[in-house]
Amino acid sequence: MTTRFAAPTALEEALAILAADAAARPVAGGTDLVVAARQGRKPLPESIVAIDRITELGHAGIEDGDLMLGSLVSHAWLAASPEVQTRWSALADAAAIVGSPATRATGTIGGNLMNASPAAETTGPLVVFGAVATLRAAGGAARDVPVAELAAGPGRTVASPGELLVRVRVPAVARGSGSAYIRLEYRRAMEIAVVGAAVFVALEGDGADASIADARVALTAVAPTIVRASAAEAALTGASATSDACRAAGAAAASGASPIDDVRASADYRRAMLEVVVARTAAAAIARARGETVPIPASRWAHGREV
């Protein structure tokens, strides 16, 4: 039962509260927190620090080519931003299918990351972009953690008590590159991924002679944390940018994965669908790298499409 509540309007004030109160937990949109409490899965924290009024955490923009996101930037902003849609397309794909319109308007990039769900939509794209999270503590102490290393397990991160995620830096992407995020879903709203994949590719050459100079693949909902698929990356890197390479990447991802059985899907079904999802995501990323139009979210474009 919550017994303490604070709503600071300045970052240092929030950090001071977190440092002084070991039970304090920061809350932004609260979309996961409220649902879990109502369903009886997890009680509300004893002490809540609402950070949604800290203006500086809501800033977003481009700095030296990098995408800089305050932790309060919403999924709705990410899905609608022309810069994100064009240059960091996988992130727009993911943000566009989080929950419902109300969830996207309220939920934040910081909350999605710190919730550390293995099915979190935005984490996979941030991993393949090489994004870095900045954690701050009282007194100005700050440290950078690659998003790929932020989650320690379901619902757990490497953040120390008193640390707050304040910013995410997403590195610039080069010309000739493309990305996509696609998930397998049973319905189109208020859903979480059965399996999902984020793919980034950088092409070398033009037209039919183009090859894949660099490839990064991250898998959603197949492990305790969102993970890179090194075998799929190896299947793509150096290959011609063709459907054969996409199918090879899908097969490599499936053979290297050890998904779980749960109420949403069996491990065998997840493995089979992972092969399909990775192949389709790679195809979408390659199409975007070529300058072709793939609508956001790519999950809708990919539905029923053969590679």
Report pLDDT digits (tens) over 99-153.
888 889 999 999 999 999 999 999 999 999 999 999 999 988 899 999 999 999 9
Domain contains 307: no
Tokens of 53: 């009024």
Domain ends where: 149, 170, 191?
170
Of residues 240, 305, 239, 236, the one with CA closest to residue 277: 305
Q: Look up tokens 């049973």; give the residue.
A: 186
Q: Which CATH number characterizes residue 145's domain?
A: 3.30.465.10
Please indicate, yes or no, whether residues 91 and 146 belong to a single structural domain of this protein: yes
Q: Which CATH number characterizes residue 249's domain?
A: 3.30.390.50
Please indicate, yes or no, whether residues 62 and 28 belong to a single structural domain of this protein: no
Domain ends where: 103, 138, 170?
170
Distance in angstroms (rounded) separating the CA atoms of residues 123 and 126: 5
Range of the domain at 223: 177-302
Tens digits of per-residue pLDDT, 261-297? 877 788 889 999 999 999 999 999 999 999 999 999 9
Give residue 187's pLDDT.
63
Please indicate, yes or no, whether residues 151 and 234 belong to a single structural domain of this protein: no
Higher pLDDT, 37 or 107: 107
Does position 186 have pLDDT exceeding 70, yes or no? no
* Residues 14-34, mean pLDDT to the nearest whole number: 88
Domain contains 119: yes
- Quickly list DSSP for 2-66: --EEE--SSHHHHHHHHHH-TTEEEESS-HHHHHHHHTTSSPPPSEEEE-TT-GGGG-EEEETTE
Q: Domain tally for the chain? A: 3
Give residue 168's pLDDT.
98
Please indicate, yes or no, whether residues 150 and 228 belong to a single structural domain of this protein: no
Tens digits of per-residue pLDDT, 40-79? 777 788 899 999 999 999 999 999 999 999 999 999 999 9
* Residues 174-181, mean pLDDT to the nearest whole number: 96
Please indicate, yes or no, whether residues 182 and 294 belong to a single structural domain of this protein: yes
Please indicate, yes or no, whether residues 255 and 166 belong to a single structural domain of this protein: no
Residue 257 CB coordination number (10 Å)? 21
Please indicate, yes or no, whether residues 39 and 70 belong to a single structural domain of this protein: no
Give residue 280's pLDDT.
97
Please indicate, yes or no, whether residues 36 and 131 belong to a single structural domain of this protein: no
Domain ends where: 140, 170, 200?
170
Tens digits of per-residue pLDDT, 190-248? 567 889 999 999 999 987 789 999 999 999 999 999 999 999 999 999 999 999 999 99
Q: Which CATH number characterizes residue 13's domain?
A: 3.30.43
Please indicate, yes or no, whether residues 62 and 163 belong to a single structural domain of this protein: yes
Give residue 189's pLDDT.
60
Angle, helices 243-256 vs 267-289, to 10°: value is 150
User: pLDDT grade, residue 33 (50/70/90)?
Assistant: confident
Please indicate, yes or no, whether residues 236 and 276 belong to a single structural domain of this protein: yes
Does position 302 have pLDDT exceeding 80, yes or no? no
Domain contains 241: yes
